Amino acid sequence: MPRITLDQIRAMGDVTQTFRWNLVVVKAPTSVPNFPATAAADLRIETSELPKKTGSSVEVTLKGHSVKYPGIYKPQGTLSFGFVETVDNVIANWFASWQQACWANNTGARVPKKDLEAVFQLQLLKNDDVARWQYTMKGCFIEDPNPGQLDSSSADPLKPQMTISYDDFTQGPL
Amino acid sequence: MPFLDNIEKIRTVEWGHTYLWDARFLNPEPPKPFNDWFPAATMDEDIFSLDSYAFDARGGAFSFPLRRGSIKKIDMTFFDDVNNTLLNWFETWVNEIIFNRKGSLVSPLEECVRQITIVRLDHAKQPVGNPRNYWVYPEGKLTFRGDSSSSIRSFPISLVIVGTIGNSTIG
């Protein structure tokens, strides 16, 4: 078979670009004040990982022959968001309130899981910015907030990061 | 169809966690600062102990409940402060109250025991169910061990349950 041609590549269509995406807050926790709505969160989010499930395999070896079967597929379980903070403390309030719901200052108490978990959706967009694919994570809560890095020699914006934990996710076309 | 057929059945349960418990001694309580809480780091509380009678008969082996098993115990590891508050309290309990006549005789059981209260907590740190109250006395040895590390002092101890206060029977 001959090597692919330039015209075949040109006819393949537009490629997916990594900057065309949205973060949607599908469900905010009921017991977390200051949880931003989609508009405020999506406006400030700069980077995101995508969820995935990692599988294991089961191997059967008999008299020299090996056959592998799919084993357990487990969600990676965590996802990292990167934000740009604004002076109205939207991200700082978000992190603080969510963490307080998960582990109250001084007492260590937390609210029931159903009241502190969120549902997020990451939407990937076509080149005309129409949503084409979604990942929806359920059972999300804040696991590792990183408020960012200060310095003395730049005017860069503060960029907090947050690792969220999720129970499972779905994916599919929109 | 499997019984556990989807992840939502797991997600909707508020599972218990091993750190959600608390304990204190009463009647009398230890000196301050441990008079209204106890610095126990680990706790193993026997809930029940049951022995079976097993026998072989024609056709196979059989087993049925026979009697209460071994004496129930509470095994714990606790920390102590720099003043040896709890070490001294346990030492007094055993050497002066249980061995009340300079080690030659043992006091009546009624005078040997103290009350320990154990509570299980929910995630809001509120008690779940009634506290479990026991009459206990320490068994075995309490040993002070020094070494050359900077670890916190911890002491394992075993408490024999001689009675349950409340709606349970003598253990």
Any B CB within 8 A of A109 CB? yes
* DSSP-assigned states of every residue in B16-69: --TT-EEEEEESSPPSTTSSS---EEEEEE----EEEEEEEETTEEEEEEEEE-
- pLDDT value at position A1? 86
- pLDDT value at position A79? 95
Any B CB within 8 A of A82 CB? no
Q: Which helix (H) or strand (E) holds B137?
A: strand B127-139
- pLDDT value at position B168? 44
For residue range A6-61, list pLDDT tens digits in order. 999 999 988 889 999 999 999 999 999 999 999 999 999 999 999 999 999 999 99
- pLDDT value at position B171? 37
For residue range A63-111, list pLDDT tens digits in order. 999 999 999 999 999 999 999 999 999 999 999 999 999 999 999 999 9
Inform me whether the pLDDT recorded for A163 exceeds 80. Answer: yes
- pLDDT value at position B169? 41
> CA A131, A132, A137 angle in degrees (round to 5)?
85
- Biggest alpha carbon–alpha carbon distance for chain B: 69
Contact B124 A168 (CB under 8 A): no
For residue range A98-147, list pLDDT tens digits in order. 999 999 999 999 999 999 999 999 999 999 999 999 999 999 999 999 99
What are the residue ranges in chain B where pLDDT is below 50? 168-171
Residues of chain A with Cβ-Cβ distance to B125 below 8 Å are: 107-109
- pLDDT value at position B27? 84
Q: Which of A7, A141, A23 is nearest to A77 (CA)?
A: A141
Write the CA distances from A87 to A44, A90, A92, A142, integer angstroms. Answer: 12, 8, 10, 22
Contact A109 B124 (CB under 8 A): yes
Pick from B11, B12, B13, B126 the residue to mutate for testing the A interface (most A CBs within 10 Å): B11
In angstroms, rounded to a whole number, what is the distance separating the alpha carbons of residues A130 and A126? 5
Across chain B, mean pLDDT equals 91
- pLDDT value at position B102? 61
Residue A108 near residue A64 (C-beta atoms within 8 A): no
Catalogue the long-range contacts made by B31-36 (C-beta closer than 8 Å, 24 or more residues apart). B31/B85, B31/B89, B32/B85, B33/B81, B33/B85, B34/B81, B34/B85, B34/B86, B34/B89
ipTM: 0.79
Any A CB within 8 A of B170 CB? no
Burial of A108 (0-12, 13-18, 19+ CB in 10 A): middle
Which residue of chain B has the CA closest to A168?
B7
Residue among B7, B11, B125 minimizing CB distance to A108: B125
Any B CB within 8 A of A110 CB? yes
- pLDDT value at position B103? 56
CA distance A98 to chain B (A): 15
Any B CB within 8 A of A112 CB? yes
CA distance A62 to chain B (A): 30
Residue among B11, B124, B125 minimizing CB distance to A139: B11
Any B CB within 8 A of A113 CB? yes
